Amino acid sequence: MNLDRPVAPDPYDSLPAVPSFVLESEDLVPGEPMPSEYTQPHGNTSPHLSWRDFPPETQSFVVSCFDPDAPTPSGYWHWTIVDLDSTVTFLERGQGESDLFLPGAASHVRTDGGLFGWEGANPPEGDRPHRYIFAVHALDVDSLGLDPDETSPAAVAFNALFHTIARATLEVTYQQ
């Protein structure tokens, strides 16, 4: 099958501009390929993330990972965490495996593959490199008030848009 298609835009470039802050990782290097242990075929471990310099009025965070290059009209959501308290400034490697590893009232929303937790990169074999955009959204509310069992990542992104006061992103790639 021929998967040639236009390159999808960075989805955050299409949203209203907000201030940025710093998102870093001990496991991922911006612009570089994602190490295989964070991919679905080779371990499926969620990577370490840490963030700083977000607005002091931040009340909570949403964390996500999105692949705009998935061969679908809407990309592919690999990870969404809602209601992460504003005192939390990092996620350890592997902390995305289950809600049991998340602090406080934070919870996972089902990925596009139906998992509650991290779903590592797994693009079609032979396709071009896919971009994986990790984002931390600083919100002006302590909770989006969404039921994680009944909410999609796209619905989280839509609702978070109206409460996002700053955003940090980190982009890596992966190809099989």
Question: Does 10 reside within a domain?
Answer: no
CA dist 15 to 12, 49, 87, Å?
Answer: 5, 23, 26
Question: Does 151 reside within a domain?
Answer: yes
Interatomic CA distance for residues 47 and 12, integer angstroms: 21
| Of 173, 141, 132, 176, nearest in space to 159 by CA | 141
Q: Which two tokens stand for residue 90?
A: 């990092």
pLDDT digits (tens, 9 = 90+) for 120-152: 999 999 999 999 999 999 999 999 999 999 999
Tell me, yes or no, if the pTM score tops 0.85: yes
The burial of 117, by beta-carbon neighbours within 10 Å (0-12 exposed, 13-18 middle, 19 or more buried), is given as buried
Question: Does 54 reside within a domain?
Answer: no
Question: Does 29 reside within a domain?
Answer: no
CATH number for the domain harbouring residue 112: 3.90.280.10
Domain that holds residue 102: 15-23+35-49+60-166
Question: Does 6 reside within a domain?
Answer: no
pLDDT digits (tens, 9 = 90+) for 99-119: 999 999 999 999 999 999 999
How many structural domains are present in the chain? 1
